[in-house]
Chain A
């Protein structure tokens, strides 16, 4: 028999569950995870080099994990700061997932670690969809990338809790239009803080560390519009349709029609387009 079965499962449900567990576990042990996202070469490693060194000077126990498709170059650069650093090679995967991060942190992360910075794979598309259980998501863009980046990668910038502009030392040379960049960020993520940095000149040095410490001390991080779920807001009157993780399947026999149009969702919740 041929039937249509309503599943109503989020595709990334597994990652979300793992990320949630990781977030809870990290909070319980007093460690704050910071996830850094940007296109390749925006300056994630360069920024981190400075922040790690500063953290060490200030006596804040930090660690860093850097993910790349290949080479240990970034870990080598970061390790010069003297804090614990681990390189993760993703074996071709274009992003980190929560269970990968969890496995790498387990047994490696020193107990006393206050902050762990995770440098994601250089990519503005894929990592954006994967919650790593971080308490602070930082998205970087260098002045050379163009002011329209936030509009071209709305999922990445829209979910950022802090936006860091890098390489401001060459802003003039490339004609970086700061107001335009800020306006574009505001469009996809109203209210998020944008900070200007130059690893080369030391501009904005310490801001990332300060923001991360604030979150570690319990200050709430920015909540992006895109990340806010519409709970309670509209129609709360117990409609089962909104239950995205309902485990049981409701089978319907399907009409025996060989054409694709025979796809029958009958009275199932999925038959109604969402308003």
Chain B
């Protein structure tokens, strides 16, 4: 299951970006684009992401995975279509193998949401407070 490797790569890249930015105290969410043809199972990724975040700046962060549908275009027909699953990558109009994939293999960190800056104006919750 390579979703663990993927999750760890996401955590590593976000930590790196946070270190570069400086002063990040916590990452609260990470937005990912996951293409239909990326070969990644979203549920498995969510499960692994939670584990991979433990003990890092991302502990408890939410993973927002947007699925990106696969689309292909034919170079000769100027036609483009949703490839579906399993994908149909021959041009449905001319049947030729001249198509190219326009989207669907994304595995991309779009953005992250984090808390940074000096001690927040929002007072930290007192330790004694019941939760």
Contact = CB atoms under 8 A, between A and B. Distances in A.
A228 interface: yes
B107 A1 contact: no
Contact of B2 (A126, A228, A233, A254): A126
Given A225-B101, A233-B100, A10 B28 contact: no
A94 interface: yes
A112 interface: no
Given A2-B113, A94-B2, A154-B87, A228 B101 contact: yes
A39 to B, nearest CB: 14
A125 B2 contact: yes
A14 interface: yes
A187 B90 contact: yes
Contacts of A129: 2, 6, 38-40, 107
Nearest to A151: B86
A116 interface: no
B56 interface: no
Contacts, number: 154
Interface residues of A, number: 56
Contacts of B62: 260
B88 A187 contact: yes
A93 interface: yes
A9 B109 contact: yes
A155 interface: yes
A7 B14 contact: yes
Nearest to B72: A225
Contacts of B72: 225
A188 B84 CA distance: 11
A60 interface: no
A52 B71 CA distance: 40
A154 B102 contact: no
B87 A158 contact: yes
B64 A263 contact: yes
A11 B6 contact: yes
Interface residues of B, number: 53
A8 interface: yes
Nearest to B8: A11
Interface string A1-43: 1111111111111100000000000000000000000000000
Contacts of A128: 39
Interface in A226-243: 226-230, 233-234
Contacts of A188: 86-87, 89
Contacts of A268: 111
Contacts of B110: 6-8, 265, 270
Interface string B40-75: 100000000000000000000010101010011101
Given A93-B5, A94-B2, A226-B105, 13 more contacts: A2-B28, A5-B114, A7-B14, A7-B109, A9-B17, A11-B107, A128-B39, A158-B87, A158-B89, A187-B87, A225-B89, A225-B100, A229-B100
Interface of B: 1-2, 5-6, 9-10, 13-14, 17, 21, 28-29, 31-33, 37-40, 62, 64, 66, 68, 71-73, 75, 85-90, 96-97, 99-103, 105, 107-117, 120
